[in-house]
Chains A and B, each alone.
Chain A
Amino acid sequence: MLCTSMTQQVEQMSSVLRNEDLKEMLESNKESLKLEAMKRIVGLIAKGKSASELFPAVVKNVASKNIELKKLVYVYLVRYAEKQQDLALLSISTFQRALKDPNQFIRASALRVLSSIRVPIIVPIMMLAIKEAAADLSPYVRKTSAHAIQKLYSLDPDQKEQLIEVIEKLLKDKSTLVAGSVVMAFEEVCPDRIDLIHKNYRKLCNLLVDVEEWGQVVIISMLTRYARTQFTSPWTENKAFYDSDSEEKKDQTEAKPYIMDPDHRLLLRNTKPLLQSRNTAVVMAVAQLYWHLAPKHEVSIVTKSLVRLLRSHREVQYIVLQNIATMSIQRKGMFEPFIKSFYVRSTDATHIKTLKLEILTNLANEANISTILREFQTYVKSQDKAFAAATIQAIGRCATNISEVTDTCLNGLVLLLSNRDETVVAESIVVIKKLLQTQPTQHGDIIKHMAKLFDNVTVPMARASILWLMGEYCEKVPKIAPDVLRKMAKTFTAEEDIVKLQTVNLAAKLYLTNSKQTKLLTQYILNLGKYDQNYDIRDRTRFIRQLIVPNEKSGALSKYARRILLAPKPAPGLESAFKDRDRYQLGTLSHSLNLKATGYQELPDWPAVAPDQSVRNVEIVEPCPCVCTESGSESEEESSEDSEKTSSDSGKSSSGSEKSSSESESDQKKKKKTKKAPQKKSKPAGDRYTEIPHCLFPQNDSKKPTFRTSGISLFYMSFQVTTSSFGPLKTYELLHHMTGKGLSAKYHFPRQPCLYQPSMVAVQVILTNSSDHALEEIHIGDQSPASLNIHCFNTIERLEPGASVTVSMGIDFSDSTQAANFQLCTKEDQFSVSIQPAVGELLMASTMTEQDFCKEQGKLQGMNEASATITMATANASRQAINKQVLSVANVGEVPSSQNNFSRFAGQTVSSRALVLVSLELSESSGALLTINTEKSVMASMLLQDLKQALAQA
Chain B
Amino acid sequence: MISQVFILSSKGDHLIYKDFRGGAGNDIVSIFYEKVTALTGDQPPVVMNHKDIYFVHIRQGGLYWVATTTAGSSPFTITEFLNRLAALVKDYCGSLSEKSVQMNFALIYELLDEIVDYGYIQTTSSDVLKNFIQTEAVTSRPFSLFDLSNVGLFGAETQQSKVAPSSAATRPIQSSREQGGKSEIFVDVIERMTVVIGSNGLLMKADVEGEIRVKCYMPSCSEMRIGLNEEFSIGKSQLRGYGAAVRVDECSFHQAVRLDEFDSHRILRLCPSQGEQTVMQYQLSDDLPSALPFRLFPTIERDNGGRLLMYMKLRCDLPPKSLSQELSSPDQSAELKPQSRAVVWKIARFAGGTQLSALFKLEVPSLSSASMLEVGPVGLSFELPKITATGLQIRFLRLSPIQPGPSQRWVRYVTHSDSYTIRI
Q: Which stretch of B119-127, B288-296, B398-406 is in the interface?
A: B119-127
- Chain B residues near A308 (CB, 8 Å)? 252
Instruction: Tell me, in angstroms, the Cα distance from A860 to B172 when the chains sit together.
Output: 56
Within 8 A of B (CB), among A45-74: 45-48, 67-68, 71-72, 74
Q: Does B32 contact A (CB under 8 A)?
A: no
A188 touches B76 (CB 8 A): no
Q: Known: A147-B122, A316-B76, A346-B419. Contact between A597 and B54, CB under 8 A?
A: yes
Q: Known: A420-B374, A689-B252. Contact between A351 and B45, CB under 8 A?
A: yes
Instruction: Tell me, in angstroms, the Cα distance from A600 to B70 when the chains sit together.
Output: 10
- Chain A residues near B42 (CB, 8 Å)? 349-350
- Chain B residues near A768 (CB, 8 Å)? none
B135 touches A350 (CB 8 A): no
Q: Does A137 contact B (CB under 8 A)?
A: no
User: What is the distance, in angstroms, from B140's C-beta to the closest C-beta of chain A?
Assistant: 16
B235 touches A782 (CB 8 A): yes
B72 touches A684 (CB 8 A): no
- Chain B residues near A315 (CB, 8 Å)? 46, 57-59, 79, 82-83
User: What is the distance, in angstroms, from A6's C-beta to the closest C-beta of chain B?
Assistant: 19
Q: Does B73 contact A (CB under 8 A)?
A: yes
Q: Does A693 contact B (CB under 8 A)?
A: yes
Q: Does A687 contact B (CB under 8 A)?
A: yes
Contact pattern, B 66-95, Cβ under 8 Å of A = 1, otherwise 0: 000111111111011111000000000000
Q: Does B333 contact A (CB under 8 A)?
A: no
Within 8 A of A (CB), among B108-123: 108-110, 113, 117-118, 120-123
B105 touches A285 (CB 8 A): no
- Chain A residues near B377 (CB, 8 Å)? 346, 378, 381
We find that the number of chain A residues with CB closer than 8 angstroms to chain B is: 93
Within 8 A of A (CB), among B127-141: 127-128, 131-132, 134-135
Q: Known: A278-B254, A689-B281. Contact between A588 and B74, CB under 8 A?
A: yes
Q: Known: A147-B122, A318-B45, A686-B256. Contact between A692 and B234, CB under 8 A?
A: yes
User: What is the distance, in angstroms, from B87's C-beta to the closest C-beta of chain A?
Assistant: 10
B76 touches A599 (CB 8 A): no
Contact pattern, A 592-613, Cβ under 8 Å of B = 1, otherwise 0: 1101011111000000000000
- Chain A residues near B262 (CB, 8 Å)? 786
A280 touches B255 (CB 8 A): no
- Chain B residues near A598 (CB, 8 Å)? 52, 70-71
Q: Does B205 contact A (CB under 8 A)?
A: yes
Q: Which B-chain residue is minimally distant from A284 (CB atoms)?
A: B76
Within 8 A of B (CB), among A30-55: 39, 42-43, 45-48
A184 touches B120 (CB 8 A): yes
- Chain A residues near B131 (CB, 8 Å)? 105, 680
A147 touches B135 (CB 8 A): no
- Chain B residues near A785 (CB, 8 Å)? 263
Instruction: Tell me, in angstroms, the Cα distance from A315 to B22 when the chains sit together.
Output: 27
B109 touches A689 (CB 8 A): no
Contact pattern, B 222-259, Cβ under 8 Å of A = 1, otherwise 0: 00000000000011011000000000001111111101
Instruction: Tell me, in angstroms, the Cα distance from A690 to B280 when the chains sit together.
Output: 10
A600 touches B71 (CB 8 A): yes
B72 touches A349 (CB 8 A): no
Instruction: Tell me, in angstroms, the Cα distance from A112 to B113 when the chains sit together.
Output: 10
B118 touches A589 (CB 8 A): no
Q: Does A340 contact B (CB under 8 A)?
A: yes
User: What is the distance, in angstroms, from A544's C-beta to the closest C-beta of chain B?
Assistant: 39
Within 8 A of B (CB), among A784-831: 785-787
Q: Known: A279-B80, A340-B205. Contact between A599 and B70, CB under 8 A?
A: yes
Q: Known: A184-B120, A279-B80, A313-B58. Contact between A689 and B255, CB under 8 A?
A: yes
Instruction: Tell me, in angstroms, the Cα distance from A75 to B105 when the chains sit together.
Output: 12
A147 touches B118 (CB 8 A): yes
Contact of A343 among B69, B205, B252 (CB under 8 A): B205
B113 touches A589 (CB 8 A): no
A316 touches B80 (CB 8 A): yes
B371 touches A48 (CB 8 A): no
User: What is the distance, in angstroms, from B254's C-beta to the closest C-beta of chain A?
Assistant: 6
Contact pattern, B 283-303, Cβ under 8 Å of A = 1, otherwise 0: 101000000000000000000
B255 touches A587 (CB 8 A): no
Within 8 A of A (CB), among B328-371: 340-342, 368, 370-371
Q: Known: A418-B370, A587-B76, A685-B127. Contact between A39 and B135, CB under 8 A?
A: yes
User: What is the distance, in angstroms, from B47's C-beta to the closest C-beta of chain A?
Assistant: 5
Contact pattern, A 327-348, Cβ under 8 Å of B = 1, otherwise 0: 0000000000000100101111
B110 touches A75 (CB 8 A): yes
Q: Does B43 contact A (CB under 8 A)?
A: yes
Contact of A351 among B43, B118, B341, B419 (CB under 8 A): B43
B74 touches A284 (CB 8 A): yes
Instruction: Tell me, in angstroms, the Cα distance from A326 to B64 when the chains sit together.
Output: 28
Contact of B77 among A46, A68, A281, A699 (CB under 8 A): A281
Q: Does B412 contact A (CB under 8 A)?
A: no
User: What is the distance, in angstroms, from A215's C-beta to the closest C-beta of chain B?
Assistant: 9
Q: Does B62 contact A (CB under 8 A)?
A: no
B120 touches A42 (CB 8 A): no
Q: Does A925 contact B (CB under 8 A)?
A: no
Q: Which A-chain residue is minimally distant from B71 (CB atoms)?
A: A599
Instruction: Tell me, in angstroms, the Cα distance from A276 to B257 when the chains sit together.
Output: 14
Q: Known: A221-B74, A285-B74, A315-B58. Contact between A690 and B79, CB under 8 A?
A: no
Q: Does B376 contact A (CB under 8 A)?
A: yes
A686 touches B17 (CB 8 A): no
Q: Which B-chain residue is minimally distant from A277 (CB atoms)?
A: B255
- Chain B residues near A935 (CB, 8 Å)? none
Instruction: Tell me, in angstroms, the Cα distance from A598 to B72 when the chains sit together.
Output: 8
Q: Does B191 contact A (CB under 8 A)?
A: no
A350 touches B41 (CB 8 A): yes
Contact of A350 among B16, B43, B47, B205 (CB under 8 A): B43
B109 touches A46 (CB 8 A): yes
Q: Does B306 contact A (CB under 8 A)?
A: no
Q: Does B418 contact A (CB under 8 A)?
A: yes
User: What is the distance, in angstroms, from A928's C-beta to the closest C-beta of chain B?
Assistant: 43
Instruction: Tell me, in angstroms, the Cα distance from A118 to B23 when the chains sit together.
Output: 12
Among B123, B277, B283, the most chain A Cβ lie within 10 Å of the Cβ of B123
Contact pattern, B 28-67, Cβ under 8 Å of A = 1, otherwise 0: 0100000000000111011101001010011110000000
Q: Does A682 contact B (CB under 8 A)?
A: yes
Among A46, A285, A348, A598, the most chain B Cβ lie within 10 Å of the Cβ of A46
B71 touches A787 (CB 8 A): no
Q: Which A-chain residue is minimally distant from B277 (CB atoms)?
A: A686
Instruction: Tell me, in angstroms, the Cα distance from A726 to B185 when the chains sit together.
Output: 58
Within 8 A of B (CB), among A243-287: 276, 278-281, 284-285
B41 touches A351 (CB 8 A): yes
A214 touches B122 (CB 8 A): yes
B76 touches A383 (CB 8 A): no
User: What is the distance, in angstroms, from A67's C-beta to the closest C-beta of chain B?
Assistant: 6
Contact pattern, A 147-172, Cβ under 8 Å of B = 1, otherwise 0: 10011001000000000000000000
Q: Which A-chain residue is minimally distant from B237 (CB atoms)?
A: A782
A39 touches B106 (CB 8 A): yes
Contact of B75 among A43, A71, A589 (CB under 8 A): A589
User: What is the distance, in angstroms, from B421's C-beta to the closest C-beta of chain A?
Assistant: 5
Q: Which B-chain residue is minimally distant from A185 (CB atoms)?
A: B120
User: What is the distance, in angstroms, from A715's C-beta to the closest C-beta of chain B?
Assistant: 30
Contact of A592 among B46, B252, B376 (CB under 8 A): B46
- Chain A residues near B46 (CB, 8 Å)? 315, 318-319, 592
Q: Does B260 contact A (CB under 8 A)?
A: yes
A116 touches B49 (CB 8 A): no
Instruction: Tell me, in angstroms, the Cα distance from A162 to B245 when the chains sit together.
Output: 65
Given contacts A315-B58, A685-B256, 5 further A-B contacts (CB under 8 A): A217-B77, A276-B252, A597-B54, A601-B72, A685-B127
Between-chain CB contacts (< 8 Å), 15 pairs: A71-B110, A147-B117, A188-B1, A212-B123, A214-B124, A280-B76, A311-B283, A319-B76, A349-B43, A421-B374, A685-B125, A686-B126, A691-B253, A692-B251, A782-B238
A-B CB proximity, top 5 nearest: A599-B71, A68-B134, A688-B255, A345-B419, A46-B105
